[in-house]
Amino acid sequence: EVTLVESGGGLVQPGGSLRISCVASGFSFSSNWMHWVRQAPGKGLVWVSRISSDGSRTTYADSVTGRFTISRDNAKNTLYLQMNSLRDEDTAVYYCARVEALELNSWGQGTLVTVSS
Amino acid sequence: QLVLTQSPSASASLGASVKLTCTLSSGHSNYAIAWHQQQPDKGPRYLMTLSSDGSHTKGDGIPDRFSGSSSGAERYLTISSLQSEDEADYYCQTWVPGIRGVFGGGTRLSVL
């Protein structure tokens, strides 16, 4: 069974940093592109970032470019999102998702990041 | 600019059918999309991929009650024999090729 478990969310002040993680199991993690998608409270899903299976290629939404960094450790089956210079509008539940056959076909349960003073 | 447009809400009675719509912006009518379901307080769940010709491939374990169809720039998700657990938010999603993902605003389905 494919499982994605996010962690590391919490309360952080504006301008602060946080790293969230996603541990994968039940599939060959090193073979799949991975994505982060976020959802602000009461709002819809918004794509954030993606990373290739070997970690060599990354892409970001305009709203996070220069502030967020996606990475992965295939030996640990873990996906990361380093978030710097956090803003109020980054408050959201962050989901990791696996791509298979070009689709986001497996999702985690999410981790809540709250940016507030 | 690639935009996916969904109605904010829909409702239908228990046991009935409902058809949700996702509209692709001008110039993108040939794009395939995916449908995702998000039940209250849960992570999203992949339902299916839907091509411009109406062919669709469903995710593992998705019931036959869920089907997709297409007409021009519109992509549809039809849910038949509605059950209480179908009450959820439904999102369509596609890709700007090689660049980023794009989601529609979502449709909240109420089962009466």
Our CA-based measurement puts residue B44 at a distance from the nearest CA of chain A, in whole angstroms, of 6
Which is nearest to A17 in space by CA: A83, A69, A67? A83
pLDDT tens digits, residue range A89-104?
Answer: 999 999 999 998 889 9
Report the distance separating Cα B108 and Cα A59, nearest Å: 30
* Tens-binned pLDDT, residue by residue, of chain A (117 aa): 999 999 999 999 999 999 999 999 999 999 999 999 999 999 999 999 999 999 999 999 999 999 999 999 999 999 999 999 999 999 999 999 999 888 999 999 999 999 999
Tell me the HSE value of B102 on the side-chain side, using a 13 A CA sphere.
Answer: 20
Phi first, then psi: give them for residue B84, nearest 5 degrees. -60, -35
Nearest CA in chain A to B105: A44
- Supply the pLDDT for residue A11: 98
Please state the rounded mean pLDDT for residues B2-11: 97
Q: B110 to each of A104, B11, B62, B64, B92, how far by Cα in Å?
A: 25, 5, 19, 20, 17
Mutate to test the interface with B, among A64, A107, A109 (most CBs of B within 10 A): A107
**A46 and B42 in contact by Cβ < 8 A?**
no
